[in-house]
Amino acid sequence: MSAGDPLLQLSIREIAAGFRQGEWSPIDVTEAALRRIAATDADVHAWAEVAEASARESAAVAARELNSGVDRGPLHGMPLGIKDIFDVAGMPTRCGSRALAAAPPARQDAAPIASLRAAGAVVIGKTVTQEFAAGVISPPARNPWDPDRIPGGSSGGSAAAVMLGHCVGAMGSDTGGSIRIPAAACGAVGFKPTFGQIDHEGVYPLSWSLDTVGPIARTVDDAWLMWQILSGVNAPNDAPAASGADNLRGVRIGVARGFFFDGVQPGVLASVDAAIESLRELGATVIDAPWDNAAAARAAAFIINRVETAAVHDEYARNEPERFALYGDDLRLRIAAGRAIPATLYLRALRARAAIRDSMSRLFATHELGALLAPTLPTTAVLADELTLTGTGRDESIGAGWTRLTMPYNATGQPVLSLPSGFDQKGLPVGVQLAGAPGNERMLFRIGGALESALGLALVPPLAMTPRMEATR
Amino acid sequence: MPEVYKRDDGARDMDVDAVLRHARQIDPGFPREAISRYVSEIEQMADALQGIDPGGFDGLSAYSPAWETTRRAS
């Protein structure tokens, strides 16, 4: 229990049980979340907009429903944060861009938000995103473990908010790693679902051939519960993340040596190696399973991403120069350069993607894998005023370096779960990613849950322990 | 559309000046060195795709028959 709000350090199942046992109500949890935001958001700037009034209204409705016997399941009454590229009815979708500063309120919820609301979730507000979800820095959001550092991105506000108890879970999007990257940098759990699995109508696109949406949460089981609602697989009593001794016996886990372990900080490698050892102790069979097409997969995803991003923003770039001038310099350059990529290269990348995806499925079949393991990021969180990667032996920008290990899986489209594996010598969280087979997401959550339990990490940032403030902002 | 290739044997060796001219149609202020860095990144990625035998044109789907074998195995 923390000195902050102990209620918001509980898992979704624990909070939900308290609702049904009359220990607390959705109103209590939402008020606690709003107090945490008031107490610590000035340090991390995780929120683009907090919808206090509508959150209180939703919480009151959720409480009344539960009192009258209407039970919408495990997310009923849970306060969630929504990345500001998702439409939320009554709130503007500004996408972290000055170009959309005057956006009108959305008329309806994006499809994933409608699913969450139907399950009784309470929308607390919109979390900070890198401009149009294109990047890994997420200004002005900062890292909950050290506010001098970045939270990662592009769903940086969502990961920071979750870790500080501003909400019990949050929505992110992942086109090149934007769920997994901030999850790893902030010590959260992030799940990139299989491409095409979750309807994302009403979510601002970055690259339509790669875009996915999914949950960021504090525990593997919390992410599982959110994913179940988002994907329509609603079996709340199924709990693959519940661990037990030796419960991974018979599970084969590949370690993607080579591409995914080169150019990685020693502190990250040590933490990931410790996680691998824990998996062995849990009874899993761990084997080396290098994937020869990883570099090509990253390249295909990179090219597709750049061309489609340019196409998404083409109208503004060509016909609305005054609006386009309000974009950040990096994104304007990226769009301008993306427009010049030859169509032949784009089509080659799309065609290569099919071959790359098939090579991954063969790797799984050959080794009978339940999951393929790799670090999520090559480094831990970097300082916001330096933005340089050190200790990797490579000269690369943070944008290239921090997507190097995540982007290959956007090319294959397979599901990937990122969870904390430990800390580096500076006390910053390290993430490990488990890639799985489409349709066998349950296996990832089973492995992730067992690993999470075995590691038993204390994942409450010191900032989350600051004393409670009674007033909300 | 300006010609961005220096060669016609594939998507390599993009002409930085041509890309810069193209970009400056959008914003005359784009610096050459930044465009050059982007072009270099794109060329590296194009190189990494060399040697991949195209698998067809169903690249939008994450699913393939091979995954069925995987699911049975796991």
DSSP string, B36-72: HHHHHHHHHHHHHHTT-----S-TT-S--HHHHHHHH
DSSP string, A69-96: T----TTTT-EEEEETTB-BBTBB--TT
Supply the angle between the helices B32-49 and A329-339 in degrees, to the nearest 10. Answer: 50
Establish if A440 touches chain B: CB-CB under 8 angstroms: yes
Query: Is the pLDDT higher at B73 or at A303?
Result: A303
The DSSP bridge partners found for residue A171 are A82, A215
Mean of pLDDT values over A346-359: 90
Tell me the C-alpha to C-alpha distance, in Å, between residue A278 and each of A251, A281, A366.
13, 5, 24
Contact A334 B38 (CB under 8 A): yes
Kindly state the helix (H) or strand (E) to which residue A13 belongs, with its residue range. Answer: helix A12-20
- What's the pLDDT at B8? 44
Give the distance from CA A101 to its chain's centroid: 24
Average pLDDT, chain A: 94
Q: Which residue of A lies nearest to B38 if distances are taken between CA atoms?
A: A337
Chain B CB within 8 Å of residue A342 CB: yes
Percent share of chain A, pLDDT over 70: 97
Better-scored residue on pLDDT, A323 or B10:
A323
Put simply, whether A175 touches B (Cβ < 8 Å) is: no
Tens digits of residue pLDDT in A21-38: 999 999 999 999 999 999
Angstrom CA distances, A338 to A346, A415, A470, B2, B13, stand at: 10, 27, 49, 14, 15
| Cβ–Cβ contact A72 with B under 8 A | no
CA A465, distance to chain mean position in Å, is 23
State the first-to-last Cα distance of chain A, in angstroms, to the nearest integer: 24
A152-207 pLDDT, tens digit each: 999 999 999 999 999 999 999 999 999 999 999 999 999 999 999 999 999 999 99
pLDDT at A278: 97
Q: Are strands A416-423 and A285-288 parallel, antiparallel or unpaired?
A: unpaired
Where in A128-211 does DSSP place strands (E)? 169-174, 189-192
The C-alpha atoms of residue A348 and residue A141 are separated, in whole angstroms, by: 37
**Which 3 state secondary structure label does DSSP give A322?**
helix
Region A215-241: mean pLDDT is 91
* A252–B61 C-beta distance less than 8 A: no
Which residue among B46, B64, B74 sits closest to A370, beta carbon to beta carbon? Answer: B74
* Distance between CA atoms of residues A233 and A189, nearest Å: 19
What's the pLDDT score for residue B58? Answer: 56
| Nearest-CB residue to A302 (from B35, B45, B55) | B45
Q: Which of residues 225-284 of A touch B (CB under 8 A)?
A: 251-252
CB A95, CB A85: distance < 8 Å = yes
pTM for the model stands at 0.94
The larger pLDDT score, comparing residue A298 to residue B72, is at: A298
Catalytic residue positions of A? 83, 154, 178
The angle subtended at Cα A361 by Cα A358 and Cα A362, nearest 5°, is: 85
User: Residues A457-467: what's their mean pLDDT?
Assistant: 87
